[in-house]
Amino acid sequence: MAQISIEGMEFHAYHGCFAEEQMIGTRFIVDLFLDVDTSTAEQSDALHDTVNYLTVYQVVKKEMMVNSKLLEHVGRRILDAVKSHFPAVKHATIKVRKMNPPLGGKMDFVSVTLEA
Which residues are marked as active site? 98
CA distances from 39 to 1, 42, 51 (A): 7, 5, 12
CA distances from 12 to 59, 61, 108, 116 (A): 15, 10, 16, 25
Laid out side by side, the sheet with 109-115 consists of 2-13, 26-36, 89-99, 109-115
DSSP secondary structure code for residue 103 in this structure: S
Chain-centre distance for alpha carbon 57: 8
